[in-house]
């Protein structure tokens, strides 16, 4: 068990009005080391760091951190919810259709919301838009090369 109360994580928790606990710090450390992880991956990393911890405890920590804006939760179609520490900068994600890897990509526009639906005033008068979640789908480089190698082997 290697968990230590990292000052930056502890400060972030305190700044958002949360008590500093080993589990919360361990979850944040897990996400710092493996962004875009699902809860099961976070759980395995937390257990390797602090020892015995329940699934429910990790879910509770993830929910508390998400509610306080410390963690960002994304859920690409067909995927489990994934979590990251990168918050507040209006970035988007690339998702590989084959292996499911998720990669951050900066927003081309910069300011949120970067996209606005047409006819917003007609379809939802008075609706205040503050965010657009963009997910780009495609095939990552390793999967592209893997499919080329498979295609060549089959020929």
Cβ–Cβ < 8 Å for 82, 36:
yes
pLDDT digits (tens, 9 = 90+) for 112-150: 777 777 777 777 788 888 877 889 999 999 999 886 666
Domains and CATH numbers, the chain: 7-74 (1.10.10.10), 88-154 (3.30.1490)
Q: Which two tokens stand for residue 7?
A: 């000052």
pLDDT confidence of residue 4:
44
The order of strands in the sheet holding 102-105 is 102-105, 92-96, 135-138
Rounded to an integer, what is the distance from CA 36 to the centroid of its chain? Answer: 4
Question: What separation in angstroms does the CA of 88 have from each of 53, 72, 114, 130?
Answer: 29, 9, 13, 12
| 43-60 per-position pLDDT tens digit | 999 999 999 999 999 999
In this predicted structure, what is the pLDDT of residue 150? 60
How far is Cα 11 from Cα 136, in angstroms, rounded to an integer? 33
Q: Where are the beta strands (DSSP E) in the chain?
A: 37-38, 72-74, 82-84, 92-96, 102-105, 135-138
User: Is residue 2's pLDDT more than 70?
Assistant: no
């Amino acid at each position: 068990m290697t968990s230590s109360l990292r000052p930056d994580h502890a400060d972030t928790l305190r700044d958002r009005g949360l008590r500093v606990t080993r589990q919360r710090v361990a979850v944040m450390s897990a996400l710092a080391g493996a962004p875009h992880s699902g809860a099961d991956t976070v759980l395995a990393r937390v257990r390797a760091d602090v020892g015995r911890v329940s699934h429910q405890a990790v879910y509770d920590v993830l929910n508390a951190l998400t509610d306080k804006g410390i963690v960002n939760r994304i859920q690409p179609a067909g995927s489990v919810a994934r979590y990251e520490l990168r918050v507040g900068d209006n970035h988007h994600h690339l998702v590989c259709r084959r292996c499911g890897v998720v990669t951050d990509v900066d927003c081309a526009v910069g300011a949120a919301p970067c996209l606005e639906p047409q006819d917003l005033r007609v379809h939802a008068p008075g609706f205040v838009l503050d965010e657009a979640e963009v997910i780009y789908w495609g095939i990552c480089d390793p999967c592209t090369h893997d499919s080329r190698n498979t295609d060549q082997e089959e020929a």
